Amino acid sequence: MTPITVKLTDIRKSFGGQEVLRGIDLAARDGDVIAIIGASGSGKSTLLRCIPLLEIPDQGEVSVGDAQIRIRDAGHRFSRAERQTVRRLRGQLGFVFQSFNLWPHMTALQNVMEVPLHVQGRPRAECREEAEAMLAKVGLADKFDAWPAHLSGGQQQRVAIARALAMRPRALLFDEPTSALDPELVGEVLRVIRALAEEGRTMLIVTHEMTFAREVSNHAIYLQDGRVEEQGPPEQVFLDPQSERCRRFVGMQR
């Protein structure tokens, strides 16, 4: 068995009395591509944000690679050792959001180099070389010096993907990476993500692009009201779901 890269155990989270995640278990092994689908408000983003602990669960265990955090109650205060573990855990993850969040005052290349250079403290020449390679990989070899404002949404999102890759993550998390894009720009971003999946990268992808999700994933999870209502091979979840509610959801998305 390949090692488990990302593992969540019994994750629970409430916002002001509303329980948004009601005990979620999930495991991604090296090379797994997990598609997470579900209606708006079902808890997909909250779940994804719990992995890098951008959202702190009220309860449960998060592990990424060899970094593991266990939370026993809401309002948990991290000890110094746990804060170090959180940093190590985050350092193994690349996150791509719906909004690209590029730094507007930096060129594409500077955006991609920033974390490796100034946070990870790697040598400048190496960071530059790798940033160029990552931009080339996402089809932007001619845009190193472009400002974000001069790039299309699809190009900006590809810079964001290159930036996530340059951090050398063990796993990539995507939260609706194409839903802020004009329809004609969706394809170029999905193609890049698909190529990464084919390289065997571990990825968790929240998306409403059903055909893409079915084709790219090897495991799919349907969330409803903060619970895993259905999960399994994508052929099952997208084409022949056991749960009536999942059946209705994927039927509506087609």
Q: Which is nearer to ligand ADP, 130 or 230 (CB)?
A: 230
Determine, following the binding rule CB under 6 A, whether residue 40 of this chain makes contact with ligand ADP. yes
Alpha helical stretches, state H, the chain: 44-50, 80-90, 108-114, 124-137, 153-166, 183-198, 210-216, 234, 244-253
Q: How far apart are CA 136 and CA 155, in angstroms?
A: 12
Q: Taking the CB of residue 235, how many other CB atoms lie within 10 A of it?
A: 10
Determine, following the binding rule CB under 6 A, whether residue 20 of this chain makes contact with ligand ADP. yes
Size of the site for ligand ADP (CB under 6 A): 10
Q: Are 213 and 35 in contact (CB under 8 A)?
A: yes
Tell which positions 179-198 bind ligand ADP, by CB under 6 A.
none
Instruction: Write each residue from 69 to 88 as x if it is in contact with ligand ADP (CB under 6 A), else as -, in one continuous string.
Output: --------------------
Determine, following the binding rule CB under 6 A, whether residue 46 of this chain makes contact with ligand ADP. yes
DSSP assignment letter at 170: S
The pair of three-digit structure tokens given for residue 39, joined into one six-digit string: 């209606």
Determine, following the binding rule CB under 6 A, whether residue 43 of this chain makes contact with ligand ADP. yes
Determine, following the binding rule CB under 6 A, whether residue 45 of this chain makes contact with ligand ADP. yes
Residues that bind Mg ion (CB under 5 A): 44-45
Determine, following the binding rule CB under 6 A, whether residue 38 of this chain makes contact with ligand ADP. yes
Q: How far apart are CA 134 and CA 112, in angstroms?
A: 8
Q: Which is nearer to Mg ion, 44 or 163 (CB)?
A: 44
Pick the piece of the chain touching ligand ADP (CB under 6 A) from 35-43, 69-77, 78-86, 238-246.
35-43
Q: Which of 6, 31, 26, 3 is nearest to 197 (CA)?
A: 31
Determine, following the binding rule CB under 6 A, whether residue 103 of this chain makes contact with ligand ADP. no
Residues that bind ligand ADP in the complex, under the rule CB under 6 A: 15, 20, 38, 40-46
